[in-house]
Amino acid sequence: MTISLKTLSYIDGKWTEPSLGGYFEVINPANNSVISSVANCGSQDAVTAIRAASKAFQFWSKTPAEQRAEYLYRWYKLILQHQHELADLMTRECGKPLSESLSEVVYGASFLQWFSEEARRIKGDIIQSPNADKRFLVNKQAVGVCAAITPWNFPLAMIARKCAPALAAGCTIVVKPAEATPLTALAMADLAEQAGIPAGVFNVLPASEGQEIGEVFSTHPLVRKLSFTGSTAVGKILLKQAADTVKRISMELGGNAPFIVFDDADIDKAVEGAISSKYRNAGQTCICANRFLVQEDIYDKFIAAFSEKVKSIRVGDGLQPGIQQGPLINNKAVQKVDALVRDAIAKGADLICGGKVHELGGNFYTPTIIGNVDKSMAIAHEEIFGPVSPIFRFTDEREAIAMANDTPYGLAAYFYSQKMDRIWRVSEALEYGMIGINEGIISTTLAPFGGVKQSGIGREGGHYGIKEYLDIKYLCLGGLT
């Protein structure tokens, strides 16, 4: 079977027109052409989908784990079978190079495989009782109906990372994908349907604006769990709205990731890691390096090696062979990145390379490095979400740690050092949920993904991920003698 371009919402196993009849355009950021028009769902569609998910929960939560695992595994196999179609669609929607899209499809599918296996491993406990006539048991049960709001920068992987553990645990789910990338989400729904996942278990609501649906998700009493990936500002709004119904919450929010290079680092490996971390998806990732902190003794050497690599990055339409960096998601993103660069230069930063809209125009921005950045510049504090590397100097380990932690965010951090004592000291001192040590790419299905401080609540991935979708129920059994 093949996948076709779906443009309607997917509710209760049916491809459904929006309740108010509206549609919105999905734009290819590489050329600003219209890919398709998609159903524009609103609050009534969200309520309909939640009710369908609630109805489906009554039987899905009672479906044996072995069967839930089989559904997820079939979905996983279908995604791999159609990986090239999905990658092509993803590149057209969000602009990332085709090679990166293919990697994301495989990465995203791996969550379905992993959690198909974890569905079989949901375990309870028996607690030894001090009383002969009592037994204490701990059971784990699915939370209930879940809602997920996912970002455009990883339109397949973020859905899989939330939905796979939810379905494995016995929950049903309603997904609101980002307005820029609904087609990839709807393609996943098409494959879920082909995998035989029952009606109402997995639902997708495309919408041009997230506020209306987000409010329904965070306030509706039938929704027992909300998972959100996006900005800290929006996350705080959803948290406040969810408080009245005391929902379970997972939040993966903004970041300001430091990338520290100590004077004992292998500079070639540090440069390789910096390229991988910073310029993947044109710097539009939640965990990419946002600030480069380089020890002063190797500052010039690192910049020379790093800039040589950055200048060679091939920019263009992600569907073209050999392209390493595609466009930013839209012109607003370009304007933000350019404003941050101009502010830094105006306040004394050195422009090492790039620093302007690419000669291709449109949403393309040149891979950029700026040096001698300091705290007075906006780029030191804001999440860039673009292909710009601001580089700071530091003198010693204590200063590096203080600079790295001087932010309300705590999602990911990176550092390069060959000294084992330093590796332990720094990794324990950094206030972040994930740390790459001599490594620029840290995401994996096997490990917990999430942050601390204002970067979020909860974890996704690994055996920790399914716990977010399970309630613990204590059973006290008496009268046994």
**CA pair distance 225, 243, nearest whole angstrom:** 12
Domain 258-444: give its CATH code: 3.40.309.10
Q: Looking at residue 147, what is its pLDDT? A: 98
| Tens digit of each residue's pLDDT (9 = 90 or more) over 234-252 | 999 999 999 999 999 999 9
Structure tokens of 182?
């609904």
- H runs (alpha helix) in 61-97: 65-81, 83-94
| Percent of the residues in the chain that have a pLDDT greater than 70, as a whole number | 100
> How far apart are alpha carbons 437 and 434 in whole angstroms?
10
Mean pLDDT along residues 288-294: 97
- d(C-alpha 22, C-alpha 7), whole Å: 12
**Segment 13-32 mean pLDDT:** 96
Percentage of residues of the chain with pLDDT beyond 90: 98
**Cα(79)–Cα(375) distance, rounded to whole angstroms?**
45
CB 440 within 8 A of CB 414: yes
pLDDT at 220 over 90: yes
Residue 92, classed as helix, strand or coil, is: helix
Model-level pTM?
A: 0.96
For the stretch 299-335, pLDDT in tens is 999 999 999 999 999 999 999 999 999 999 999 999 9
Q: Is the pLDDT of residue 197 over 90?
A: yes
Instruction: Give me the chain's average pLDDT, please.
Output: 97
- Residue 63 burial (C-beta neighbours within 10 Å; 0-12, 13-18, 19+): middle
- Cβ atoms of 201 and 53 within 8 Å: the answer is yes
Q: Exposed, middle or buried: residue 269 (CB in 10 Å: 0-12, 13-18, 19+)? A: middle
CATH code of 9-253+455-475, in short, is 3.40.605.10
Beta bridge partners of 147: 174, 226
Helix intervals (H) in 290-364: 299-311, 331-346
Query: So which residues are the catalytic ones?
Result: 252, 286
* pLDDT number for residue 146: 98
Give the pLDDT confidence of 343-355 residue by residue, as tens digits: 999 999 999 999 9
pLDDT of residue 2: 77
The pLDDT, as a whole number, for residue 94 is 97
**Cα separations in angstroms, 331 against 46, 123, 247, 334, 395:** 30, 49, 36, 5, 38
Q: List the domain boundaries for the chain.
A: 9-253+455-475, 258-444
DSSP 8-state secondary structure symbol assigned to residue 247: -
The tokens for 459 are 């974890």
Q: 283-312 b/e with 16+ CB inside 10 Å = b?
A: bbbbbbbbbbbbbeebbeebbebbbebbee
- Please give the backbone phi and psi of residue 174, each rounded to the nearest 5 degrees, phi first: -120, 130
Q: Between helices 182-194 and 157-169, what is the axis angle to 10°?
A: 40
Q: What DSSP letter does each residue of 393-436 carry, written as one string?
A: EESSHHHHHHHHH-SSEESEEEEE---HHHHHHHHHHS--SEEE
Give the confidence band of 1 by pLDDT, cuts at 50, 70, 90: low
Q: Which residue has the tokens 């949901």?
A: 122
- Find the mean pLDDT for residues 178-192: 98
Q: State the SS3 of 285-301.
A: CCCCCCEEEEEHHHHHH
Encode pLDDT of 32-60 as tens digits. Answer: 999 999 999 999 999 999 999 999 999 99
Please name the amino acid found at residue 310.
V
Q: pLDDT tens digits, residue range 335-392?
A: 999 999 999 999 999 999 999 999 999 999 999 999 999 999 999 999 999 999 999 9
User: Model confidence over 459-472: pLDDT tens digits?
Assistant: 999 999 999 999 99
For residue 461, what pLDDT is reported?
96
φ and ψ at 45, to 5 degrees? -65, -40
Distance of CA 394 to the CA centre of its chain: 31
Per the CB < 8 A criterion, the answer to whether 72 and 134 are in contact is no
